[in-house]
């Protein structure tokens, strides 16, 4: 079974109403997942259809005079921006600055994605095969797109291209695929609370 954003989430994304950090994680999923890419194209077509049927509003400017001031050259087709090195090939990360990979405990490394307009913290996470992440819950949203490999938790198995939309109702203990490991991109709002002894010890160091 594949995990994808809810219709409501994708519609808010298409309309440009999502927080930029959360939107970036949805964009990563759209980049990887062809089915969601089709759904997005359909939502865009819906906007186009509304544009055709809408009652026009008169403009205050004359097109003819505006056309005199047009720049002469039209733009060439730009090359698709290259994904930043080591961002697991994600082109949607190209407009953003990436931090350095940092180890945050055994088998887990993390690199920050700098999204200046966001309420959310965004980062890429890489976990070695078989890593068991400490049980935790959130006060806000935790949205994840799996870029490579897989993990499994109480709500199912999430593999490359899947989207995991958790909120404060979910407590989970992700276990990383024993063969492939896992690379994902995550946006977090609110705070993360680790549970149990090891989690509490870890808390001050992980500061997600």
Q: Can residue 82 be called a binding residue for other proteins (CB under 8 A)? A: no
In angstroms, give the least distance from the CB of 8 to other proteins. Answer: 6
- Tell me how many residues contact other proteins (CB under 8 A): 66
In angstroms, give the least distance from the CB of 127 to other proteins. Answer: 25
Q: Can residue 117 be called a binding residue for other proteins (CB under 8 A)? A: yes
Among positions 80, 106, 169, 179, the unique one binding other proteins when judged by CB under 8 A: 80
Stretch that binds other proteins, among 98-106, 109-117, 121-129, 185-193 (CB under 8 A): 109-117
Q: Can residue 12 be called a binding residue for other proteins (CB under 8 A)? A: yes
**CA end-to-end distance (rounded Å), the chain:** 29
Token pair listed for 135: 């049980």
At 79, phi and psi to the nearest 5?
-70, 145
Token pair listed for 177: 């695929």
Token pair listed for 66: 């505006």
In angstroms, give the least distance from the CB of 50 to other proteins. Answer: 5
CA-only gyration radius of the chain, Å:
21
Among positions 2, 46, 195, 200, the unique one binding other proteins when judged by CB under 8 A: 46
Token pair listed for 103: 């180890």
Among positions 3, 4, 27, 127, the unique one binding other proteins when judged by CB under 8 A: 27
Residue 117's Cβ-count burial label (10 Å; 0-12, 13-18, 19+) is exposed
SS in 3 state form for 40-70? HHHHHHHHHHHHHHCCCCCCCCCHHHHHHCC
Stretch that binds other proteins, among 61-69, 155-163, 173-181, 189-197 (CB under 8 A): 61-69
Token pair listed for 39: 């759904």
Which residues make up the interface to other proteins (CB under 8 A)?
7-8, 11-18, 20, 23-24, 27, 30-31, 34-35, 37-38, 40-61, 63-64, 66-68, 70-78, 80-81, 91-92, 94-96, 115-117
């Amino acid at each position: 079974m594949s995990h994808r954003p809810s219709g409501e989430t994708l519609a808010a994304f298409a309309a440009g109403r999502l927080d930029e950090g959360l939107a970036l994680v949805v964009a990563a999923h759209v980049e990887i997942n062809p089915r969601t890419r089709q759904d997005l194209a359909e939502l865009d077509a819906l906007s186009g259809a509304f544009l055709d049927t809408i009652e026009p509003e008169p403009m205050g400017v004359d097109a003819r005079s505006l056309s005199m001031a047009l720049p002469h050259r039209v733009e060439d087709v730009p090359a698709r921006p290259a994904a930043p090195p080591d961002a697991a090939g994600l082109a949607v990360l190209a407009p953003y600055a990436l931090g350095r990979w940092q180890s945050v405990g055994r088998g887990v490394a993390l690199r920050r994605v700098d999204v200046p307009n966001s309420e959310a913290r965004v980062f890429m996470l890489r976990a070695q095969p078989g890593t068991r992440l400490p049980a935790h819950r959130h006060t806000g949203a935790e949205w994840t797109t799996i870029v490579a490999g897989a993990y499994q938790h109480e709500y199912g198995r999430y593999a490359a291209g899947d989207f995991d939309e958790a909120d404060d109702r979910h407590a989970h203990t992700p276990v990383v695929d024993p063969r492939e490991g896992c690379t994902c991109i995550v946006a977090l709002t609110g705070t993360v609370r680790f549970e149990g002894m090891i989690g509490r010890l870890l808390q001050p160091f992980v500061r997600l």
